[in-house]
Amino acid sequence: MLKSIYSRIFYFCTIALMFGCALTGVIVVLFANQMHEAEANASIDSTAHILQARIMKLYKEADTLPLDALYNELETYTLSENIDCYLFDVDGNCLIRTDYVSTNMVLNTALRDAAASEPYRKMGGFAGNFTEPTATYVEKFSLDSNIYYLMLIFPISYVNEFSSSLLTVLILTVLGIGVLGALLFYFNTAQLMKPMREITHAAENYAKGDFSGRLSAQSGDTEIDYLATTMNRMADFIDHNERSRKSFVSDVSHELRTPMTTIGGFVDSILNGTIPPEQEKHYLKIVSSEVNRMTRMVQSMLNISKFEEGSLKPDFKQFDITHLLIQTLLLFEEKAEAKRLAVEGLEDCPKTLVVADKDLMQQVFYNLTENAIKFVDEGGKLTLAVDSDGTQAHVHMRNTGEGLTEEELSRIFDRFYKTDASRGKDTTGVGLGLSIVSRIMVLHGGTVTVKSVHGEYTEFIVSLPLIQAGSVQSKQTEQKEKGDADV
């Protein structure tokens, strides 16, 4: 049973090779036999013409057909050329025969009719004294008004022997080429199939969830090497996603467990009377705060899912990004005053027009401002700046405070990541704000970067293209074309 691609290819190629060799050999044998038979026919024709010429010469010399002299002439050819010669009259009666058989012999009507217009030839069969395949030749000729038939019988075993020898050589050649080709194909294909087996083994491990193994490419320029490289990239991608999924599930479980435990504990305490009635309102406010935090967490996770699925499409419009920044900052006026926060740089921010999704960019500024005010030191300073380099607008937001370490800087945009310092200060956050900011900037073709000096400050820099390709420009072009058409 052909269970593998390798065995199917092996058997198919071997059979195709042997079939091709056999077909070529058969064609060669047929062609050689035709050539050999043509040579035999030419030899017979030549002999027949020579004998006819001798018969006519003897007839002219004697003015009649000298049977004795003619018999001696034909017998000479019988002995020297190994040919049986026969001469028949118009009625088919045998006048001379050289096969040394005394029985009467008659040329039947069928043969006489066959040789009436042109010589009759037949290859194969047995005739005369020969016990081997022969060629029969019958030709009609006339001497004055008398009609005669000359019949020659040639042995053609050498033709069959040639065919048999050629067929034997063909069979041996086909078998030899088949065996040699099969061996070459086997070793060559086995070498090629080795990386395929490795790829299959690696794929089986991937299916089991083991993404640790990687495939090695040989020369890097074959289809199998390309497949191995692609498999490695796929394994890296799946492994990364699997780690992210496990981390995501773990983080979600952890983040949900804390507010659920708090909510469950306070509700149970209220129900069993552990918390006095006069304090129930206070603890219900805490429960409400935790519920709101869980709601924000779920909504943030839904937003991240939309970003990753690509189902969220920005609505690009032109607006003043400085004005949006000021509007967003005013939403935190109460919290800023509570921390005696000094806000600097707004008066120096120029009007800067960008093409972006206004609601999404407000969420970026909201998350960054909330994060900055939350971790600024008491009585600290928040510095804002907006500038442009001709292709991008840059929004800077710096707050004084503890700052971030190198390790924290490398993970600040990860989902659910909270620094050690923030875990004590941020009791309402879910660790998704900065992750959402980074994804929104990717949607806009921009970036968000962070730099910090531990113990001094932390600064976020939002870089946004001034023009989104295919958005405002294309709309303006469409409006212009529409206006031209109306005119």
- Span 288-300, average pLDDT: 75
pTM over 0.85: no
Per the prediction, the chain carries an average pLDDT of 78
* Whether pLDDT at 9 is above 50: yes
pLDDT tens by residue, 231-262: 788 888 877 777 767 766 776 676 677 678 87
pLDDT tens by residue, 324-347: 999 888 888 888 888 899 999 988
Going from N- to C-terminal start, the domains of the chain cover 5-161, 223-307, 313-473
- Span 471-485, average pLDDT: 44
Residue 431 is predicted with a pLDDT of: 60
* Architecture of the domain made up of 5-161: 2-Layer Sandwich (3.30)
Which residues are CB-neighbours of 119 under 8 A, at least 6 positions away?
45, 48, 137, 138, 139, 140
pLDDT tens by residue, 359-380: 888 888 988 998 889 889 888 9
Residue 76 is predicted with a pLDDT of: 82
Residue 394 is predicted with a pLDDT of: 94
* Architecture of the domain made up of 313-473: 2-Layer Sandwich (3.30)
Query: CATH says 223-307 is which class?
Result: mainly alpha
pLDDT tens by residue, 417-429: 665 444 444 544 4
- Span 105-121, average pLDDT: 88
